[in-house]
Structure 1
Amino acid sequence: MNGAFNHPPDITPGVAEQAVSWLVEMQGGALSPRRQQAWEHWLQAHSEHQRAWEHIQRVNQRLRGLSSPLAHAALNAPKSSSRRHALKLLLLLGAGSALTYGLRDQLPITPLLADYSSPVGQRRKVQLQDGSLIQLNTASSVDVSFNAQQRVIRLLEGEMQLIAAKDARPLQVFTADGLLQPQAARLNLRQFNNRTELAVFDGRVALSPADHTGSPLWVNAHQQVSFNRLAWSTPQALDAGSGAWTDGMLVAAHMRLQDFLAELGRYRRGQLNCDPKVAELLISGTYPIDDSERILSLLEISLPVRVRRFTRYWVTVEARV
């Protein structure tokens, strides 16, 4: 099994911790000449040290935009042990190590520490330095790490569409469930709590689940597949509406109302509920995801339902009386 599935290959956890320790020491006061020389020797000893130091510096800058108590302790108590602990925790979360995946569900700061993110209800396009294009769907975030040898993209949460540029350096795309290696590909990738869904529009992609020891699965153009850390499903033909979100549309083809509302709820803040009495109603059509209120109004016209709004952030679709 490739060790890269346990931690990303560009910055190992041990080196990330070393970089954190140096930063914590520097922020506690000016280094002595001996310690300054030791830091310079560490920095120049390996290119991985330099990548880790650059990443830690970027993360440290992001912390100054946080308003949480943890960030406040990290940045505003320079001589306390609690400050050192808080800073180290926050920096390790953003250091690109395996701890990112282990702790991101426990502390809601992943989007704030990610290289690129999009808030709920918004989409974002990012042009990378190699010419690749990433489009992030609602509530999504990625980390990007390029160097002279390789290109690495990590989907931390949510969904992205990637148009991979041609480049001599190999491209690796990580999710919590494994590794993808696109070849001249345009793909859509969505991270769920217990699986990842991949759709390939152009090119092909080698898929290696994190805990799978065999050969990778090649997913070809016009195919989609679901996988977890152990295995993958049988590749299927692309759904008609796959990737429609990049054009601001939600496509439903005989979709259960409960499933439709779950999808629509991704683009709204708050809770969008479905009464079990109407959950099995079927819905078809193409809907603009940037206007969820309009979609809810259309449901009342096309289905025997009513939309009950307790507050702006607590809405239930129930049977019409």
Structure 2
Amino acid sequence: MTSSSHSALDPRLVRRASQWWVDLQSEGAPASLRQACLEWRRANPEHERAWQRVQAVTGQLHDVPEPLLQATLLTPQGTGRRQAIKTLLLLAGVTGAGIATVRLAPWVDWRADESTRIGESRHLTLPDGSKVVLNTGTAINVRYDSNERRLVLLHGEILVTTTADVAPRARAFLVETAHGTLRALGTRFLVRQDGGDSELQVYEGAVEIRATRTDSVAEVVHAGFRARFDGMHVIPAGPAQDTSASWARGMLVATQMPLRQFLHELSRYRRGHLGCEDEIASLLVSGTFPLADTDRILRALEYELPVDVRRYTNYWVTLRARPS
């Protein structure tokens, strides 16, 4: 039987405990904040367990990027967690002076033909002359043979512009994601694989979608439209958004975008945690921002909005409401 001390914690409690920990690391943290944290810990045994989990891990991992730290915090106690910490320490490269900064690409990149790091984009010309642009944190495999031209999107986002096939026999141009296969019908289109589904936006021509786990007929998406597919269903998602491909020109374009959504998009181009307080999450952001310098974008937000950027570490940045 598994005791509660060895069971998995609610991720929300771990995130809250992590935020308490980060807040208390800031210079001049008031006694009232420490008291509030103590009251939160005493309010529920699971709160205290989450706090102890954070304390145990942060005591060993001082400068590990937040995504890796969170993955360890959420691992249940026992052998699994010990192995997670051991793996983290090995990846980070423990030395007598402490833990080196981790700068590793996602594991899947190691088996990719082409990939980009966080914050990087790449323009590629394929063997048939077709063009593909890889967005930040993207990996693909290129599978061309005598029967077909296939790109396998392992993760991330690509912008594709196809050309007519000059091979002796015209070959289909296919893009495969974890959720389905796309067949280009002479076109320019964007594909993004993100979490539990994939998204297609068609700018020229048309693209046929066939979901992975279904026997239904393929759906055709024409220029000017977009759709999402999750392996079982293809769901129309409205008009295509030209600004969604602005990253291929090194820009992030926002039009009346809620701040939390904007930060989610921006976080794809920098390592670590980037978030904001709930009370400012709905502030609207508009503008065209150069992705080459995400810190400059954060400074622009401070100038344009009533927010302050709090930098706890290189990997944990939070926007807070500016005191009136």
- TM-score, normalised to structure 2's length? 0.65
Alpha-carbon contact 1:219-1:235 (below 8 Å) kept: no
| Structure 1: 5+ residue stretches without partners | 1-106
Alpha-carbon contact 2:275-2:317 (below 8 Å) kept: yes
Rounded to whole Å, the distance in 2 between the matches of 1:229 and 1:310 is 39
Residue 130 (structure 1) shift = 0.8
Q: Deviations over 1:247-287 (max 9, x none)?
A: 11111111110010010010011211211121111111111
Rounded to whole Å, the distance in 2 between the matches of 1:108 and 1:244 is 24
Q: Does 1:140 align with 2:144?
A: no
Q: Does 1:124 align with 2:112?
A: no
Partner of 1:175: 177
Alignment match of 1:256 (pick from 255, 258, 280): 258
| Cα pair distance change 1:158/1:307, threshold 3 Å | same
Correspondences of 1:224-235 after superposition (within 5 Å): 224-235=226-237
Q: Deviations over 1:135-187 (max 9, x none)?
A: 00000000011111111110000000011121111122100000100011111
Partner of 1:219: 221
Alpha-carbon contact 2:187-2:207 (below 8 Å) kept: yes
Correspondences of 1:217-296 after superposition (within 5 Å): 217-296=219-298
Residue 235 (structure 1) shift = 4.5
Alignment match of 1:313 (pick from 312, 315, 319): 315
Q: Deviations over 1:56-83 (max 9, x none)?
A: xxxxxxxxxxxxxxxxxxxxxxxxxxxx
Q: Secondary structure at the match of 1:144?
A: strand
Q: Secondary structure at the match of 2:254?
A: strand
Correspondences of 1:1-321 after superposition (within 5 Å): 108-167=106-165, 168-321=170-323
Alpha-carbon contact 2:203-2:242 (below 8 Å) kept: no
Rounded to whole Å, the distance in 2 between the matches of 1:224 and 1:247 is 20
Rounded to whole Å, the distance in 2 between the matches of 1:162 and 1:311 is 37
Q: Secondary structure at the match of 1:280?
A: coil
Rounded to whole Å, the distance in 1 between the matches of 2:228 and 2:276 is 26
Q: Given residue 125 of structure 2, which amino acid in structure 1 is its aligned partner?
A: Q
Alpha-carbon contact 2:211-2:233 (below 8 Å) kept: yes
| Cα pair distance change 1:293/1:176, threshold 3 Å | same
Alpha-carbon contact 1:117-1:139 (below 8 Å) kept: yes
Residue 240 (structure 1) shift = 4.4
Q: Given residue 175 of structure 2, which amino acid in structure 1 is its aligned partner?
A: V
Residue 244 (structure 1) shift = 0.8
Q: Secondary structure at the match of 1:301?
A: helix
Paired-residue identity, %: 39
Q: Given residue 264 of structure 1, which amino acid in structure 2 is its aligned partner?
A: L
Rounded to whole Å, the distance in 2 between the matches of 1:234 and 1:189 is 14
Structure 1 vs Structure 2 CA RMSD: 1.3
Partner of 1:68: none
Partner of 1:55: none
Residue 108 (structure 1) shift = 4.2
Matched length: 215
